Structure 1
Amino acid sequence: MTEFNSTQLRNLALVGHGKSGKTSIAENCLFKCGATNRVGKTDDGTSILDYEPEEVKRKMTIDSSLASCEWQGYKINFIDTPGYPDFTGEVKSALTACESAIVVVSATSGIEVETDRAWKYAEELSLPRAIFINKMDREHADFYKVVEELRAHFGKGVVPIQIPIGSEASFQGVADLITMNTKVLIKNKDLIYEIPEYMKDEVDNARHMLMETCAEFNDELLEKYLEGEEITETEVAAALIEGIVNARIFPVLCGSATKGIGFRQLMNSIIEYMPTPYFRASMGINPKNNELIERRTEDGFSGYVFKTVVDQFIGRVSYLKILSGTLTENSSVYNSVSEKTERISTLYSACGKNQHAQKIAHAGDIVIITKLQSTKTGDTLCNEEEPIKYEPVTHPDSMFTMAIKADKKADEDKIGNALTRLVDEDPTLTIYKNTETGDLTISG
Structure 2
Amino acid sequence: MKIYPSEQIRNVAVLGHGGCGKTTLVEAMAHVAGLTKRQGRVEDGSTISDFDKEEVKRGISINAALVPIEWEDAKLNLLDTPGYFDFVGDVKGAVRVADSALIVISGKSGVEVGTEKAFEYADEMEIPKIVFVTDMDDDKTDLQKILDDLRNLYGKSIAPFQVPIREGEHFVGFVNVPKMEGRRFVKDHVENCPVPDGMDDEIGPVREMILEAVAETDEALMEKYFAGEEFTLEEIQSAIHKGVVDRTLVPVLIGSGMNNTGVQVLMSALVKYMPAPKEEHTSVFGEDPATGEPVEVKCDTEDPATALVFKTIVDPYIGKFSLFRVYSGIIRTDDVLLNVNKENMEKVSHIYVLRGKEQIEVDAIHAGDIGAFAKLVNVGTGDTLCAKERPVRLEGVEYPESLAYKAVIPKTKGDEDKIAAGLQRLMEEDPTIKVVLDNENHQELLYGVGSQHLEIIVSKLEAKFKVGVDLVKPKTPYRETIRKKVQVRGRHKKQSGGHGQYGDVVMEFEPLGDNDTAFVFEEKVFGGSVPRNYFPAVEKGMQESVKKGILAGYPVVGIKATLLDGSYHPVDSSEMAFKLATQIAFKEAFSQASPTLLEPIAKVLVLVPDDYMGDIIGDLNKRRGRVLGMNPLGGKQEIMAEVPMGEMYGYSTDLRSMTQARGSYSMEFQRYEEAPKEVQERVIAERTKEE
Q: TM-score range by the shorter chain?
A: over 0.9
Secondary structure, counterpart of 2:156 in structure 1: coil
Q: For the residues of structure 2 that align with 1:359 and 1:27, how far apart are their CA atoms? A: 27
Asked whether the 8 Å contact 1:156–1:213 carries over to 2, the reply is: no
Instruction: Please state if 1:159 is matched with 2:163.
Output: no
Asked whether the 8 Å contact 1:138–1:168 carries over to 2, the reply is: no
Q: For the residues of structure 2 that align with 1:189 and 1:111, how far apart are their CA atoms? A: 28
Q: For the residues of structure 1 that align with 2:83 and 2:172, how far apart are their CA atoms? A: 27
Amino acid at match of 2:251: P
Q: For the residues of structure 1 that align with 2:417 and 2:136, how far apart are their CA atoms? A: 52
Distance 1:154 1:168, change over 3 A: farther
Asked whether the 8 Å contact 1:305–1:377 carries over to 2, the reply is: yes
* 1:337-376 to 2 correspondences below 5 Å: 337-376=341-380
Higher relative contact order (CA 8 A, sep 6+): 1
Q: For the residues of structure 2 that align with 1:86 and 1:242, how far apart are their CA atoms? A: 35
Asked whether the 8 Å contact 1:108–1:138 carries over to 2, the reply is: yes
Instruction: Please state if 1:311 is matched with 2:319.
Output: no
Amino acid at match of 2:341: V
Distance 1:168 1:429, change over 3 A: farther
Shift in Å, 1:351: 1.7
Counterpart in 1 of 2:460? Answer: none
Q: For the residues of structure 1 that align with 2:258 and 2:394, how far apart are their CA atoms? A: 41
Distance 1:283 1:370, change over 3 A: same
Shift in Å, 1:22: 0.3
Asked whether the 8 Å contact 2:25–2:258 carries over to 1, the reply is: no
Q: For the residues of structure 1 that align with 2:332 and 2:182, how far apart are their CA atoms? A: 43
Amino acid at match of 2:258: T
Counterpart in 1 of 2:202? Answer: 202
Q: For the residues of structure 1 that align with 2:168 and 2:356, how far apart are their CA atoms? A: 31
Range 23-32 or range 174-183, more displaced: 174-183
Q: For the residues of structure 2 that align with 1:328 and 1:174, how far apart are their CA atoms? A: 45
Counterpart in 2 of 1:11? Answer: 11
Shift in Å, 1:123: 0.3
Range 429-438 or range 254-263, more displaced: 429-438
Shift in Å, 1:172: 2.0
Counterpart in 2 of 1:289? Answer: 291
After superposition, give the CA deviation of every residue in 1:416-437 in whole Å (9 maximum; x if it has no partner): 0000011101111111101331
Shift in Å, 1:90: 1.1
Distance 1:172 1:355, change over 3 A: farther
Shift in Å, 1:225: 1.5
Amino acid at match of 1:414: K
Amino acid at match of 1:290: G
Instruction: Name structure 2 gaps, 5 residues minimum.
Output: 449-691
* 1:96-111 to 2 correspondences below 5 Å: 96-111=96-111
Asked whether the 8 Å contact 1:136–1:168 carries over to 2, the reply is: no
Asked whether the 8 Å contact 2:435–2:447 carries over to 1, the reply is: yes
Instruction: Please state if 1:187 is matched with 2:224.
Output: no
After superposition, give the CA deviation of every residue in 1:359-409 in whole Å (9 maximum; x if it has no partner): 221111010111001100000010011110012111111121011122344
* 1:71-86 to 2 correspondences below 5 Å: 71-86=71-86
Secondary structure, counterpart of 1:66 in structure 2: strand
Asked whether the 8 Å contact 1:349–1:368 carries over to 2, the reply is: yes
Instruction: Please state if 1:405 is matched with 2:412.
Output: no
Amino acid at match of 2:248: R
After superposition, give the CA deviation of every residue in 1:219-239 in whole Å (9 maximum; x if it has no partner): 332222222121111111111
Q: For the residues of structure 2 that align with 1:250 and 1:167, how far apart are their CA atoms? A: 28
Counterpart in 2 of 1:143? Answer: 143
Q: For the residues of structure 2 that align with 1:156 and 1:21, how far apart are their CA atoms? A: 26
Distance 1:54 1:218, change over 3 A: same
Q: For the residues of structure 1 that align with 2:169 and 2:374, how far apart are their CA atoms? A: 46
Q: For the residues of structure 2 that align with 1:418 and 1:355, how far apart are their CA atoms? A: 24
Amino acid at match of 2:263: F
Instruction: Please state if 1:24 is matched with 2:28.
Output: no
Amino acid at match of 1:46: S
Counterpart in 2 of 1:129? Answer: 129
Amino acid at match of 1:10: R
Asked whether the 8 Å contact 1:319–1:368 carries over to 2, the reply is: yes
Amino acid at match of 1:397: E
TM-score, with length taken from structure 1: 0.97
1:390 to 394, 409, 419: 394
Secondary structure, counterpart of 2:238 in structure 1: helix
Secondary structure, counterpart of 1:405 in structure 2: strand
Asked whether the 8 Å contact 1:172–1:261 carries over to 2, the reply is: no
Q: For the residues of structure 2 that align with 1:53 and 1:430, how far apart are their CA atoms? A: 22
Q: For the residues of structure 2 that align with 1:324 and 1:168, how far apart are their CA atoms? A: 54
Distance 1:167 1:154, change over 3 A: farther
Instruction: Name structure 1 gaps, 5 residues minimum.
Output: none
Shift in Å, 1:217: 4.1
Distance 1:219 1:424, change over 3 A: same
Q: For the residues of structure 1 that align with 2:235 and 2:287, how far apart are their CA atoms? A: 40
Counterpart in 1 of 2:218? Answer: 218
Instruction: Please state if 1:68 is matched with 2:72.
Output: no
Secondary structure, counterpart of 2:114 in structure 1: helix
Range 76-85 or range 146-155, more displaced: 146-155
Amino acid at match of 1:225: Y
* 1:42-57 to 2 correspondences below 5 Å: 42-57=42-57
Range 280-289 or range 94-103, more displaced: 280-289
Q: For the residues of structure 1 that align with 2:25 and 2:340, how far apart are their CA atoms? A: 37
Distance 1:167 1:438, change over 3 A: farther
Counterpart in 1 of 2:34? Answer: 34
After superposition, give the CA deviation of every residue in 1:62-94 in whole Å (9 maximum; x if it has no partner): 111000111111111000011111111111110
Asked whether the 8 Å contact 1:314–1:371 carries over to 2, the reply is: no
Q: For the residues of structure 2 that align with 1:354 and 1:167, how far apart are their CA atoms? A: 42
Secondary structure, counterpart of 2:317 in structure 1: coil
Amino acid at match of 2:403: M
1:381 to 376, 382, 385: 385
Instruction: Please state if 1:300 is matched with 2:304.
Output: yes
Instruction: Say which one has the larger Rg.
Output: 2
Secondary structure, counterpart of 1:432 in structure 2: strand
After superposition, give the CA deviation of every residue in 1:167-196 in whole Å (9 maximum; x if it has no partner): 896212222112221222212232122323
After superposition, give the CA deviation of every residue in 1:260-298 in whole Å (9 maximum; x if it has no partner): 100100011111110000131111101121111110111
Q: For the residues of structure 2 that align with 1:385 and 1:119, how far apart are their CA atoms? A: 38
Secondary structure, counterpart of 2:326 in structure 1: strand
Q: For the residues of structure 2 that align with 1:268 and 1:20, how far apart are their CA atoms? A: 22
Secondary structure, counterpart of 2:401 in structure 1: coil
Secondary structure, counterpart of 2:199 in structure 1: helix
Counterpart in 2 of 1:256? Answer: 256
Amino acid at match of 1:401: Y
Range 167-176 or range 58-67, more displaced: 167-176
Q: For the residues of structure 2 that align with 1:340 and 1:169, how far apart are their CA atoms? A: 63
Secondary structure, counterpart of 2:90 in structure 1: helix
Asked whether the 8 Å contact 2:139–2:170 carries over to 1, the reply is: no
Range 32-41 or range 195-204, more displaced: 195-204
Amino acid at match of 1:311: D
After superposition, give the CA deviation of every residue in 1:340-362 in whole Å (9 maximum; x if it has no partner): 11121222112211121222211
Q: For the residues of structure 1 that align with 2:79 and 2:387, how far apart are their CA atoms? A: 27
Counterpart in 2 of 1:269? Answer: 269
Asked whether the 8 Å contact 2:66–2:80 carries over to 1, the reply is: yes
Counterpart in 2 of 1:327? Answer: 331
Shift in Å, 1:311: 1.3
Q: For the residues of structure 2 that align with 1:87 and 1:432, how far apart are their CA atoms? A: 20
Secondary structure, counterpart of 1:361 in structure 2: strand
Secondary structure, counterpart of 1:309 in structure 2: strand
Q: For the residues of structure 1 that align with 2:384 and 2:194, how far apart are their CA atoms? A: 51
Shift in Å, 1:154: 1.1
